[in-house]
Amino acid sequence: MTLQEYDYACESPSKLAASCLLLALTMKNLGGWTPTLEYYSGYSAQDLHPLVKRLNFLLTYQPRGKLNAVRSKYSHRVFFEVAKVTPMDMLKLEETLTSS
């Protein structure tokens, strides 16, 4: 989804990928950012928090009327219907990120 948003063009691909992973881990309650992830990504969890919040905001308030190809593709069973996953509540995300 970020490929369709100009605001994310300035972010480094590695930081964007790391932030997406942290958001996915948080959304699925699969644990937090481990020292191993920090070592191999080069990013601490605190480095990623602002971008994770922006990504969740993008999921929450995405425009529904245009550019639906990505949403349609990832709503399919083959891709585990990840486009249908409910975004986290912004306050709960903030609480989860600050507690880890």
Going from N- to C-terminal start, the domains of the chain cover 12-99
| pLDDT of 61 | 84
Residue with tokens 């971008």: 51
37-53 average pLDDT score: 97
Residue 31 in this model has a pLDDT that exceeds 80: yes
pTM to 2 decimal places: 0.86
With respect to CATH, is domain 12-99 assigned 3.90.1150.10? no
21-38 average pLDDT score: 94
54-63 average pLDDT score: 87
- Identify residue 1 by its one-letter amino acid code: M
CA 39 to chain centre: 20
Percent of the chain past pLDDT 90, that is, above it, reads 60
Q: Within a 10 A sphere around the Cβ of 79, how many other Cβ atoms?
A: 10
Angstrom distance (rounded) from CA 33 to CA 43: 10
Angstrom distance (rounded) from CA 72 to CA 28: 21
